[in-house]
Amino acid sequence: MIYLKEISKTPSVFEGFPFNIPTIASLDSLQLTSPLVLLMGANATGKSTFMESLAIASNRVVVGGLDLKRDESLDSIRPLAKALRLSWAPRTAKGFFLGTISLTPLNKSGQHRLPERKSAPF
């Protein structure tokens, strides 16, 4: 089931990062019609910025990251999170945010390292 139906951005008076990223600047509304959404693009095109802002806006738990409310590294994108308007189907309180950064051995705090292998897996 698709819970998040639409992401829109309110007209903003903010200038500079992250509102000057072309992908973010051109975003008016994004209809989500599939249960799986993939964001693809070159480096520095706003994928992580958008996803982290979405995690803040939806008040989700970030897997392998710091608490969203206390993570100072996200301060520069909080205005974007406030500008996002999310339209939900009947919402569940369950869920989490899994971004590509979550799949790396180290998170921003340098904690929760994956265990090192002592031998080959075969």
pLDDT tens digit string along 84-93?
A: 999 988 866 6
Q: Where are the beta strands (DSSP E) in 15-101?
A: 29-31, 84-88
Q: Which residue, 10, 33, 6, is CA-closest to 88? A: 6
CA distances for 38 relative to 35, 41, 116, 121, angstroms:
10, 10, 30, 30
DSSP state letter for 113:
P
pLDDT tens digit string along 14-62?
A: 889 999 999 899 999 999 998 888 888 899 899 989 998 998 998 877 6
